[in-house]
Structure 1
Amino acid sequence: MVDPSAQRNPTRTPKTERSSLPALPDARSNKLLAALPADEFERLNRDLEAVSMPLGDSLCEPYLAMQHVYFPVDCIVSLLCLMEDGGSAEISVVGNEGIVGVSLFMGGETTPSRAVVQSAGSAYRLNGSALKAEFYRGGPMQRLLLRYTQALLTQMAQTAVCNRHHTLDQQLCRWLLLSNDRLHNDELVMTQELIANMLGVRREGVTEAAGKLQKAGLIRYHRGHIFIQDRKGLEQRTCECYEVVKKEYDRLLPDTQAK
């Protein structure tokens, strides 16, 4: 793993002016926040800050303590495992179903992974001390975050299995479906090079796999934009790993509407 002293790109603080974020979705567009009882949500809402999440921004670096957690509303964040030779691979994705900063409320404070914005958008940021105070109350927020952590661990474990046992075509389908689940539309802004970094493979492999999916009419790819054209077809082409992860999230974190 990467020695923290070797880091050259410190975590950047996302922009926080609410006025600079046009038509920002309500905080309860994040499903964890939407699932909270009204009184608990209002306690947190006083301290929530709207932040822009530009593509490629780092929210967390290996072994550096986080000061905030992030609730994505229309962006996607990748959690990456880094190697000493500069290689990386994605171990999970977080979108409007979750929170970035599990290590903070679980007591570890730091993590060996990096959190990077994979799909630009916006999120709500909360000071770590405010989240801890709510977590240690022992009420609905604590139970919700613990269930979310279990779902996240399932995604990490299944990603490891998928990367070991399934084809790149299947891995790409899984990745596209998980990303699509966490967005409000069928467009992903993502270069093939970045996808290769996420999956921990060569770019040429992603180019070939994406070409097959495009030829089959499942996606359309043009200048860093991927359009999901046949979601059912992607579901049929992927491995069982996508369904395992989806079922666990659905079981532990049922879909909610903003209260």
Structure 2
Amino acid sequence: MRNEPINNRLLLSLPPETLQRLMPEMDLIQTESGAVIDHIDGLIEHLYFVNRGIVSLVKVMHDGRSVEVGAIGIEGVTDSNALFGVDVAITETMVQVPGSAFKIGRAFLSRELENDRALRRMMERYWRFAFGQLAQTAACNRLHTLEERCCRWLLTSHDSALDDSFPLTHEFLATMLGATRSSVSLTAKVLHRAGCIDYTRGIVTIADRLGLEETACECYSETATEMNRLFGPDTRPPH
């Protein structure tokens, strides 16, 4: 784990001197599928810069139903609002696609923001981006078909898993899409028959990325455009 390179685009966008100050205060940890990072109304003590995988922001209703309202991949950090005065979690924050993350204390990072103008400016820009993604997801869940949203989510996961294959169950995907397991399974079968994905024992493999991009809603490309505007073009080699 210690030899894993930095993949997080937010960290990579920081000035070298800023990153050098942060690195000794960060622990690279493994993230397990289904693990809850923050519980709603719980005190936020740490933030996590996602280095591989996906962390989802989930709203749970009184009847137990839940839906994803946002997702954080290698472009960002969990609970960025905690750096600007909101120190309790407003959603459940859980690992959807396992991987790794850099864990850092909220108090330390908040102090750094006070003294480092470049860090504060970047975190403010990222917070605006993250808020915009919440609005994008809300519109997407209301206006786009399940197949379109499923393709968007698979592409997003592919980008941050840094691998063509990654763990993903139909149950978890249904939770993230706010749909029934049966409807998600049917959609997955359609995508499998079209040659877009393979699915074996809880592992999804992206077989035809172009096919997914052609079927996904506009939200995927709009998000990618916003990320490149924030961080610059993604120059990482293809996985």
- The TM tier, using the shorter chain, reads over 0.9
Matched residue, 2:81: 103
Cα separation, 2, equivalents of 1:49 and 1:164: 38
Instruction: Specify whether residues 256 and 228 from structure 1 end up closer, same or farther in structure 2 by C-alpha distance, changes over 3 A only.
Output: closer
Is there any run of 5+ residues in structure 2 with no aligned partner, and where?
A: none
Question: Displacement of 1:183 after TM fit?
Answer: 2.1
Match of 1:67 among 15, 28, 45: 45
Equivalent of 1:164 in 122, 131, 142: 142
Aligned partner of residue 73 in structure 1, secondary structure: strand
Q: Give the percent of matched residue pairs that are identical in Structure 1 and Structure 2.
A: 35
Q: Secondary structure at the match of 2:56?
A: strand
Specify the SS of the correspondent of 1:111.
Answer: coil
Corresponding residue for residue 31 of structure 2: 53
Q: Map 1:188-227 onto structure 2 (within 5 A).
A: 188-227=166-205
| Matched-pair contact (CA < 8 Å) for 2:174–2:184 | yes
**CA contact 2:31–2:99 (8 Å) conserved in 1:** yes
- 1:24–1:206 Cα change, 3 Å: farther
Give 1:257 shift: 6.7
CA drift of 1:138 comes to: 4.7
**Distance in 2 (alpha carbons) for counterparts of 1:157 and 1:186:** 28
C-alpha deviation, 1:253, in angstroms: 2.1
Does structure 2 conserve the Cα–Cα contact (< 8 Å) formed by 1:90 and 1:199? yes
Q: How does 1:232-243 map to 2 (within 5 A)?
A: 232-243=210-221
* Correspondent of 1:123 among 87, 101, 104: 101
Q: 1:148 maps to which residue?
A: 126
* Contact 1:35 1:256 survives alignment (8 Å): no
8 Å Cα contact 2:9/2:75 also seen in 1: yes
SS of 1:108's partner is coil
Partner SS state of residue 85, structure 1: coil
Task: Structure 1 unaligned segments of length 5 or more: list them.
Answer: 1-20
Q: Which residue of 1 aligns with 2:222?
A: 244
Bigger drift between 136-145 and 37-46 goes to: 136-145
CA distance in 1, matches of 2:20, 2:143: 45
Length, aligned pairs only? 236
1: CA distance, partners of 2:185 / 2:31: 27
Q: Pick closer, same or farther for the CA change 1:116–1:24 going to 2, 3 Å.
A: farther
**Counterpart residue type for residue 4 of structure 2:** P
Asked whether 1:113 is paired with 2:91, we answer: yes
- Name the CA distance, whole Å, in 1 between partners of 2:107 and 2:235: 27
Cα shift at 1:103 = 2.4
- Tell me how far apart the structure 2 counterparts of residues 256 and 239 of structure 1 sit (CA, whole Å): 21
Shift of 1:207: 0.5
Could you say what the CA RMSD is over the residues aligned between the two structures, in angstroms?
A: 1.6
1:156-189: CA deviation from partner (whole Å, max 9, x where unpaired): 1111111111111111011111111212111120
In the alignment, residue 92 of structure 1 is paired with which amino acid? G
Task: Note if 1:25 corresponds to 2:8.
Answer: no
Describe the shift of the 1:63–1:207 C-alpha distance in structure 2 as closer, same or farther (beyond 3 A).
same
More deviation in 221-230 or 146-155?
A: 146-155
2:207 to 224, 229, 232: 229
Structure 2 contact 44–89 (Cα < 8 Å) conserved: no
Residue of structure 1 in register with 2:16 after alignment? 38
Report if the CA contact (8 A) 2:43-2:87 is conserved: yes
Aligned position for 2:231: 253
Deviation string 1:199-236 (CA, Å, 9 cap, x unpaired) is 11100010010110000001111111111111111111
Quick check: 2:198–2:207 contact (8 Å CA) kept in 1?
Answer: yes
Distance across 2 between alignment mates of 1:31 and 1:161? 25
